[in-house]
Structure 1
Amino acid sequence: MSNKTIPESQTQFLRFATPEKPFRFTSGMVMDDLTLAYETHGKLNEDKSNAILVFHALSGSQHASGVCRHVPNTGDRWTEDCQQGWWSLFIGPGKALDTQKFFVICANYLGGCYGSSGPASLNPKTGQPYGPEFPQVSTADVVRSQALLLDHFGIDKLHAVMGASVGGLLTLNFATLFPERVRLVVSIASGQRTTVLSRLGVFEQVMAIENDPHFKGGKYYDSDPPAYGLALARMISHKTFVHLDAIERRARGDVIQRDDQLSWYRVGHNVESYMLHQGKKFVKRFDANTYLRICDMWLRFDPLKDAGVEDHGALFAISRRAGHHWLVFSIDSDFCFYPEEQAELVRWLEQADVSSMHITVHSDKGHDSFLLEPELYTPHLSYTLRRGVQLNDAWDHDAASPGI
């Protein structure tokens, strides 16, 4: 699809923390100058009942659809890869998230590097990037900051909240921290806890960045960035995002580059060259401190503690009382959030008597399927969103509504 057929979009900014109304992080730290970068698609209806909040994945941005050429305060990070909306195949007129019917909101995470306040942002008190002084960010912090964005629009209740991958964890957080503010909950290729396998992989990525000599405890903005560490972190994650067969196919036509030389080892296979290219490309568009903040909130994800309950039964009882309907997607070739994780999530939903539908997508593209194959998701998303309009407030009064 050419850019001529894709609408232009523009990032907007909301300052949600001021000296009169500071924001308190879960860690206890307080800041009074924080901004969220966000984009919207479609039109908010008169009674403000058609809004959908989308949480992006680990390295995503607020730019979910269309073409956005420039975002202020992102330095050189807003590369060509960032300018195409990461979910343009899903958001737009007649698409899964039909912008002729719905008002779609997506915001860059608090702690991010694409316009929202984060470690790379300038501290107004010093004129220098916050760096390691920026607070630890939790998933609950991200969710609460985006609830303030909904307040800005005067949206009391979302038609739907949805997210894929890490965004799915935030979706669960939103549904249980603000249950009265949403009807439909859509979790794609995600889960309801941080598994041991995820913890090991994410911790490896943390170690890759921390052990780069250029990292300097996060104080690298006036010198060389920790490029090797961040590239290695991306390579570790990338092998879980893309099915191994797909990596082999993509690498098949790659030519080993002359500069694919490490200190001693010379890259000798197309797969190695492909992975190194992915790492190098990522370094140009992302900030290492932000990457660590997101890894940290993934490792410390604790929806039970955030909701003030002791077990998952009590957690999902919140959803039942609110009358939510859940749509949960699994990808059978997913190596990042394995299908067993969604099955566990659905078991808890069923035990709590929460209305739900579980769809398994059959794909050879692995975790990245949710970005690339709208034809596998659109029928279910469209039907659920459309049925939600028909049922509307009935769900608010009938927590026992059957699955749809």
Structure 2
Amino acid sequence: MSKAAKTQETQFFHTGSAEEPFEFASGHTLPGITVAYETYGKLNATRSNAILLFHALSGSQHAAGITTSVAGTDERWTEEIHNGWWDLFIGPDKALDTKRYFIICANYLGGCYGSSGPASIDPATDKPYGSTFPPVRTCDVVKSQLALLDHLGIKQLHAVIGASVGGLLAINFATLYPERVKLVVPIASGCRTTVLTRLTLFEQVLAIENDPHFKGGDYYEGEAPEYGLALARMISHKTFVHLDAIERRARQDLKQTKGSLSWYKVQHNVESYMLHQGKKFVKRFDASTYLRIADMWLRFDPLRDAGVKSYKELFARSKDAGQHYLVFSIDSDFCFYPEEQAELVAHLEKADVSNMHITVHSDKGHDSFLLEPQLYTPHLSFLLEGRWAKASVDRPVPEVE
């Protein structure tokens, strides 16, 4: 975090009404929803320099600078998330240069950081929605953020960028509304939910569902399902961080775990490290939001959302709109394996969509996209500044691996 990090303030956009409710893909409706968002940089006179950024599973609208409080988040807005999650990438002369671009990042619908979600108050009952909050699909999130773009007067984005789960949303946005964006950047993501990912997510769902305090999602007036949420985080964490990096981090500090387990005694730094990650996470996140996003990931289906039968048909939309994709792989990624990006690129190639595929070499695993701007910035700048298009006039831009 830069010493000169700018103080940011979360803003709130409201859409929908009793007369025109917001309709989810499931058919459920709400009389109105709220989208929490932050912006960085300045929108130019032609409103053509906007970049929409989708966060990862447990991220938020707070991508850069410092935000010390957000209305409606209770005690979840902990000091751990006061610093923006992509501050290394957003700012003057950084990958997303705020002297050139206007960056927008919004908390997902179903979230717990200011956007409408299970922990939000239902105006009909004056209590948290809990189990009654509708299931959320990626197309619902995209729809809510498209409404935000309309509110801001942005007809076409310069780029849409998303990492991890955010990459799924970036692809969904680009194929559902191809005329609304020129450049598409999925980072460490894919085009479908694999069997391995499905199993890992299902384990996390079971961890939360089987916590006795979960009560089907209606726990807000009692004890939260902290053990279930902590276990879900531990299951996911080992896919986000390379195992070698976990071992290195675990050597640094043996956290106190007294009273965590009734019979088994924690006896290794790795065990202590993972317990610490789980315990820390429950302070800043909501279990029902976690389930909504996990369910959204499990049910990701861009073909269904677009009403097509093949990826060739899906990406024909990108071809017709003249979109260009920059796809990032991380060679040590255990969450979205590099084969998943290779599959995405193969589909783009079959549809004759302009693209570049970059493989980042890192020992940090999936979390590389949060930690190593030097590996991504040259390629992002090359794309966003339009140099890829100039280079392709004389020769095709080769795949770089």
**TM-score, normalised relative to structure 1:** 0.96
Q: Which amino acid aligns with 1:37?
A: A
Following TM superposition, by how much is the alpha carbon of 1:118 offset from its aligned partner in structure 2, in angstroms? 0.2
- 1:268 and 2:267 aligned: yes
- 1:242 and 2:241 aligned: yes
Q: Which amino acid aligns with 1:90?
A: F
Following TM superposition, by how much is the alpha carbon of 1:21 offset from its aligned partner in structure 2, in angstroms? 2.6
Instruction: For 1:317-396, list aligned pairs within 5 A.
Output: 317-387=316-386
Q: Which residue of 2 aligns with 1:166?
A: 165
State the secondary structure of the residue aligned to 2:124.
coil
Cα distance in 2 for residues equivalent to 1:101 and 1:162: 16
CA contact (8 A) 2:204 2:235 kept: yes
Q: Deviations over 1:298-335 (max 9, x none)?
A: 00001000001001111111110110000000000000
Q: Deviations over 1:215-260 (max 9, x none)?
A: 0100100111000000000000000000000000000022241525
Q: Which residue of 1 aligns with 2:86?
A: 87
State the secondary structure of the residue aligned to 1:36.
strand
Cα distance in 2 for residues equivalent to 1:335 and 1:201: 11
State the secondary structure of the residue aligned to 1:142.
helix
Cα distance in 2 for residues equivalent to 1:375 and 1:50: 23
Unaligned segments of structure 2, at least 5 residues: none
Following TM superposition, by how much is the alpha carbon of 1:266 offset from its aligned partner in structure 2, in angstroms? 1.3
Instruction: For 1:253-264, list aligned pairs within 5 A.
Output: 253-259=252-258, 261-264=260-263
Classify 1:212/1:258 alpha carbon distance in 2 versus 1 (closer, same or farther; 3 Å).
Answer: closer
CA contact (8 A) 1:55 1:107 kept: yes
- 1:11 and 2:10 aligned: yes
CA contact (8 A) 2:388 2:397 kept: no
Classify 1:68/1:186 alpha carbon distance in 2 versus 1 (closer, same or farther; 3 Å).
Answer: same
Q: Which amino acid aligns with 2:197?
A: S
- 1:101 and 2:67 aligned: no
Q: Deviations over 1:187-228 (max 9, x none)?
A: 100000000000000000000000000101001001110000
Cα distance in 2 for residues equivalent to 1:153 and 1:185: 20
Q: Which residue of 2 aligns with 1:252?
A: 251
CA contact (8 A) 2:257 2:266 kept: no
State the secondary structure of the residue aligned to 2:127.
coil
- 1:308 and 2:307 aligned: yes
Classify 1:272/1:16 alpha carbon distance in 2 versus 1 (closer, same or farther; 3 Å).
Answer: same
State the secondary structure of the residue aligned to 2:182.
strand
Q: Which residue of 2 aligns with 1:185?
A: 184
CA contact (8 A) 1:165 1:188 kept: yes
Cα distance in 1 for residues equivalent to 2:180 and 2:18: 27
Cα distance in 2 for residues equivalent to 1:349 and 1:20: 41
Following TM superposition, by how much is the alpha carbon of 1:82 offset from its aligned partner in structure 2, in angstroms? 1.3
CA contact (8 A) 2:316 2:351 kept: yes
- 1:70 and 2:73 aligned: no
Q: Which amino acid aligns with 1:385?
A: L
Cα distance in 2 for residues equivalent to 1:124 and 1:208: 30
Q: Which amino acid aligns with 1:144?
A: K
Following TM superposition, by how much is the alpha carbon of 1:403 offset from its aligned partner in structure 2, in angstroms? 4.4
Following TM superposition, by how much is the alpha carbon of 1:261 offset from its aligned partner in structure 2, in angstroms? 3.5
Q: Deviations over 1:90-111 (max 9, x none)?
A: 0000000000000000000000
CA contact (8 A) 1:325 1:403 kept: no
Q: Which residue of 2 aligns with 1:30?
A: 29
Following TM superposition, by how much is the alpha carbon of 1:20 offset from its aligned partner in structure 2, in angstroms? 3.4
Cα distance in 1 for residues equivalent to 2:227 and 2:19: 42
Cα distance in 1 for residues equivalent to 2:161 and 2:80: 23
Aligned residues: 396
Cα distance in 1 for residues equivalent to 2:287 and 2:185: 29
Q: Which residue of 2 aligns with 1:229?
A: 228
Cα distance in 1 for residues equivalent to 2:83 and 2:223: 28
What fraction of aligned residue pairs are identical, expressed as a percent?
70
CA contact (8 A) 1:184 1:388 kept: no
CA contact (8 A) 1:25 1:137 kept: yes
Following TM superposition, by how much is the alpha carbon of 1:337 offset from its aligned partner in structure 2, in angstroms? 0.1
Unaligned segments of structure 1, at least 5 residues: none
**TM-score, normalised relative to structure 2:** 0.96
State the secondary structure of the residue aligned to 1:202.
helix
CA contact (8 A) 2:257 2:275 kept: no
Q: Which runs of 4+ in 1 moved over 4 A?
A: 388-391, 401-404
CA RMSD of aligned residues (A): 1.5
Classify 1:260/1:188 alpha carbon distance in 2 versus 1 (closer, same or farther; 3 Å).
Answer: farther
